[in-house]
Amino acid sequence: MEARRDIFQAIADPTRRAILGLLAFQAMTPGAIAANFDSTRQTISRHIQILTECQLIKQELKGREIYYHFNPRKMKEVADWVSQYQQFWDKNLDALENYLDKIQKKKK
């Protein structure tokens, strides 16, 4: 059985996040992606492979070129998971703001 890559480990890497950012605007070839980084093309290819394995990007063959596309559906899964914690943080930050307001009013 093939081990699946963890999507959160994939997006934890800043280079992979930058690649996702590039592909969010347009499909690109591996060479065009690599041209945006100071890393070797082999290193960028490895990042692309990881993103593909996690299904964050998809590849499409056009003639002799491979183009990589951002996969918004897969990223939505990540956003949905993260959003469940937004209510928690909003509630706690609101409570902190109320507490700080209360302290400020006592000082006056």
pLDDT tens digits, one per residue of 35-87 = 999 999 999 999 999 999 999 999 999 999 999 999 999 989 888 888 888 88
Quick check: 49 and 19 in contact, CB under 8 A?
A: no
What confidence tens digit (pLDDT) does each residue in 15-38 have?
999 999 999 999 999 999 999 999
Q: Chain-centre distance of CA 62, in angstroms?
A: 25
Report the distance separating Cα 31 and Cα 1, nearest Å: 32
Q: Are residues 85 and 44 in the same domain?
A: no
Q: Are residues 37 and 83 in the same domain?
A: no
Q: Are residues 36 and 60 in the same domain?
A: yes
Rg (CA), the chain: 20
Report the distance separating Cα 6 and Cα 53, nearest Å: 9
Q: What is the pLDDT of residue 81?
A: 87
Q: What is the pLDDT of residue 4?
A: 64
Q: Are residues 39 and 92 in the same domain?
A: no
Burial grade of 56 (CB within 10 A; 0-12, 13-18, 19 or more): buried
Q: Are residues 56 and 77 in the same domain?
A: no
Burial grade of 6 (CB within 10 A; 0-12, 13-18, 19 or more): exposed
